[in-house]
Structure 1
Amino acid sequence: MQGTIIEMEKAATILKLLGDKTRLTMVKILDSNDCCVCEFVEIFKASQPAISQHVRKLKDAGVVGETRRGQWIIYSLNKDSDYYPLVQSLLQNLPDQDYRLEELKEQGLRISCD
Structure 2
Amino acid sequence: MADAVDTYEEIKESGGDLEPRAVLSLMECLHSERDLSLMLQLLEELHDQGYWIEGCRRVISFCVRKKHLSTAVHLLKQLKDKFCDDELAAVVLFDEVCSCTVSLP
Query: Is TM-score (shorter-chain normalized) higher than 0.5?
Result: no
More strand as a share of residues: 1
More helix as a share of residues: 2
Q: TM-score by structure 1 length?
A: 0.27
Higher relative contact order (CA 8 A, sep 6+): 1
Q: TM-score by structure 2 length?
A: 0.29
